[in-house]
Amino acid sequence: MTQKTLFCFRQDLRLTDNPSFYAACQNGPVMAIYILDDITPQSFKMGGASRWWLHHSLSMLEKQLDYQLNFYQGRSQDIILGLLEEQKFDAIYWNRCYEPWRMAHDADTKAKILKRGVDCKSFNGSLLWEPMDVVKSDGTPYKVFTPFYRNGCLKARLPRHPLEKPAKVDLIKDNNNSTELKDLNLLDPIKWYSSMEPHWTIGEEGAQARLKTFLDSGLQNYKEGRDFPAKNHVSRLSPHLHFGEISPHQVWSAIQAITIEGTLSLTDIDHFRSELGWREFSYSLLYHFPDLPRQNFQKKFDAFSWQTNSELLRAWQRGKTGYPIVDAGMRELWQTGYMHNRVRMITGSFLVKNLLLHWHHGEDWFWDCLVDADLASNSASWQWIAGSGADAAPYFRIFNPVTQGEKFDPQGMYTRKFVPELAQLPDRYLFKPWEAPESILKTAGVVLGETYPKPIVDLKKSRMTALEAFSLLSRGAS
């Protein structure tokens, strides 16, 4: 029987392998909507870089839908219930999201919809395995990644095969609504984001192209190559996955096809799959422990005495710490909306363990600056690097930015790209310019404290201070 369906796009901005949209289109005419809700998420509303990406992603989706996508702005529940009042819908469909505020919103909204006699269905469009399904034999959630992935995920059902784009799409335009994409004001009038634009092809088509490029030229030697920021061995799919321009099922299926072909190393393939598993693990943690974004997973860290120093924080944010690999990472973040994963660990460790600044500061800055800002991944990763999270890096693991730079950027290609004022320094001194003789600094055009900052902290002293602080915390917990 034909039914008229209201479909809500959210973090699923694609037409292929979109289970909720596919199901809606099978039943008859669909009114497709996108609601920009900055009210319900409260402190977790999107940051600036995410809003820039969202604008362009919606623009591409709108074109795919022949400009039949309807835009709204305000409290999501109010708009949905208002549309149900104004127009006769038989059903409303959406794909599930797992942020705590969204889950509370969806449960309450669904109950009110069902009371009105309207069918309401949600689907899984963003995870390979749903977090409520992957638990230990006693029903409790996993807190360690390896058993979560190896025992919980890989021994569960296989990820489903991706869906095709609906063969027939009968879209309805809301003629009573005049809101256009530009009215959402997602783009800041001050075009600070202009430096990010050359680095990305946003939208479903761009996501598929990005996946193909990675499979063709980045997946081989992935396990080792992914640690070197100057090499092309990271997928850069994270923003496409977050906004749902591509689904993890599409990525998994493409990897499976390559596995069957047998053209690439199983070691590289399995390692990349495990990175998809880390994404699933982060979502599982957020689902089962909804306080993860702001509360220490390990409660003993509640007693930790973080420092407060706005000057140190600002130097870190601006990429002016005096440690070149750290500064390169922070400048890559600002210029591109992205940071290489190895460098994320280096910059994060420097913030919380050398500067002893709360991981919240890093979480908040990344939330505003990353185009792949994702509540589950961002909070789980910052707690991991701080040592306070589930299956976290131990407190005594403090990344040395000098040795990390020398090991993972040995020719300095990455660092020189983002810290050009040091480009003429020899490799020997690139990651420790304060040790370079004055004659070499002069030849390279470097004046420490003027053209490039002196180190804002002493590595050895700050490391000892951090170890002492963490050891006191450990003793206090025993």
Q: Do the Cβ atoms of 99 and 44 come closer than 8 Å?
A: yes
End-to-end CA distance of the chain: 65
Catalytic residue status for 101:
no
Q: Is the pLDDT of residue 370 over 70?
A: yes
β-bridge mates for residue 452, sequence order: 448
φ, ψ of residue 36 in degrees (nearest 5): -90, 105
177, 221, 306, 309: the catalytic one is 306
Alpha helices in 301-437 (DSSP H): 310-318, 324-336, 341-349, 359-369, 375-386, 401-408, 413-418, 427-430
Neighbouring CB atoms inside 10 A of 43's CB total 9
pLDDT-based confidence at residue 2 (cuts at 50, 70, 90): confident
Catalytic residue status for 334:
no
Q: How far is the C-alpha of 415 from the C-alpha of 420, rounded, in Å?
A: 8
252, 278, 367, 384: the catalytic one is 278
pLDDT digits 0-9 by tens, 121-150: 999 999 999 999 999 999 999 999 999 999
**Residue 337: left (phi > 0), alpha (psi -120 to 50), or beta?**
left
Alpha helices in 192-265 (DSSP H): 204-217, 222-225, 238-242, 248-261
Q: Is the pLDDT of residue 291 over 60?
A: yes
359, 365, 367, 384: the catalytic one is 359
How far CA 138 is from CA of 50, 148, 151, 287, in Å, comes to: 38, 13, 13, 17
pLDDT-based confidence at residue 478 (cuts at 50, 70, 90): very low
- Give kind and range of the element (H or E) at residue 39: none
**Cβ contacts of 423 within 8 Å, gap of 6 or more:** 416, 444
Query: What percent of the chain has a predicted confidence (pLDDT) above 90?
Result: 94
Quote the pTM value: 0.96
pLDDT of residue 391: 82
Instruction: Tokens 């037409």: give the residue.
Output: 15
Looking at 1.10.579.10, 3.40.50.720, 2.40.110.10, 1.10.3720.10, the CATH number of the domain 299-477 comes to 1.10.579.10
Taking the CA atoms of 384, 389, 390 and 392 in sequence, report the sign of the dihedral they define: positive
Nearest to 351, CA basis, from 301, 307, 388, 300: 307
Tokens describing residue 275: 């990175």
Q: Is the pLDDT of residue 476 over 80?
A: no
177, 275, 309, 406: the catalytic one is 275
Instruction: Tokens 């589930």: give the residue.
Output: 390
Mean pLDDT across the chain: 96
β-bridge mates for residue 7, sequence order: 32, 93
Catalytic residue status for 382:
yes
AA letter at 3: Q
Mean pLDDT calculated for residue range 58-83: 98
**8-state DSSP, 76:** H
Nearest to 374, CA basis, from 280, 289, 234, 299: 280
How would you label 121-134 residue by residue, b for 16+ Cβ within 10 Å and e otherwise?
ebbbbbbbbbbeeb
* CATH 1.25.40.80 residue spans of the chain: 127-162+205-288
pLDDT of residue 263: 84
* CATH 3.40.50.620 residue spans of the chain: 5-125
Tokens describing residue 457: 């902290």
Q: How far is the C-alpha of 216 from the C-alpha of 478, rounded, in Å?
A: 51
β-bridge mates for residue 8, sequence order: 33, 94
Q: How far is the C-alpha of 170 from the C-alpha of 21, rounded, in Å?
A: 11
Tokens describing residue 58: 């919606």
Catalytic residue status for 306:
yes
Q: Is the pLDDT of residue 386 over 60?
A: yes
Q: Residue 305 burial by CB count (10 A; 0-12/13-18/19+): exposed, middle or buried?
A: exposed
How would you label 252-262 residue by residue, b for 16+ Cβ within 10 Å and e otherwise?
bebbeeeeeee
pLDDT digits 0-9 by tens, 415-430: 999 999 999 999 999 9
pLDDT digits 0-9 by tens, 154-213: 999 999 999 999 999 999 999 999 999 999 999 999 999 999 999 999 999 999 999 999
Class of domain 5-125: alpha beta
53, 94, 382, 384: the catalytic one is 382
Q: How far is the C-alpha of 95 from the C-alpha of 15, rounded, in Å?
A: 12
Q: How far is the C-alpha of 333 from the C-alpha of 337, rounded, in Å?
A: 5
How far CA 246 is from CA of 207, 317, 325, 461, in Å, comes to: 6, 30, 31, 46
Q: Is the pLDDT of residue 366 over 70?
A: yes
* CATH 1.10.579.10 residue spans of the chain: 299-477
Mean pLDDT calculated for residue range 227-238: 96
Topology adopted by domain 127-162+205-288: 1.25.40
